[in-house]
Amino acid sequence: MRPHGKLEYGGQVTPLRTCVGCRVRTVSSELLRLVVVEGVIVPDLRRRLPGRGASLHPTPSCLQLAERRRAFPRAFRVAGPLDLSLVRDHVERAAG
Ligand SMILES: [Zn+2]
């Protein structure tokens, strides 16, 4: 096994994910993985948490887009409501 999270360009392993905000497909290392824990959307920084994940660029604009189109309940296949405060905190911190 290779170290977790390492990508090999030109090789075979370049997992692609779609951002639930802007819908752009990109390598998963550029996206923040999110999972739902008891109705709260949690940033899965180590990509270790179990369950259905959603991917998002860690930017305020993609978060806003995802909220506006109600992408999260669809991505997680839950009826909602979902608490976004942890994601918002993380994105705001990441944006500086
Ligand atoms: Zn995006």
Q: Could you give the maximum distance between any two Cα atoms of the chain, in Å?
A: 41
Amino acid identity for residue 27 in this structure: V
In this predicted model, what pLDDT tens digit does every residue of 41-71 receive, in sequence order?
999 999 899 989 999 999 999 999 999 999 9
User: What's the pTM?
Assistant: 0.82
In this predicted model, what pLDDT tens digit does every residue of 8-23 receive, in sequence order?
556 667 789 999 999 9
Q: Which residues surround ligand 1, an ion (CB under 5 A)?
A: 19, 21-22, 57, 62
39 CA distance to ligand 1 middle (Å): 22
Q: In angstroms, rounded to a whole number, what is the distance separating the alpha carbons of residues 73 and 67?
A: 10
37 CA distance to ligand 1 middle (Å): 22
Crossing angle (nearest 10°) for helices 60-68 and 85-95: 150
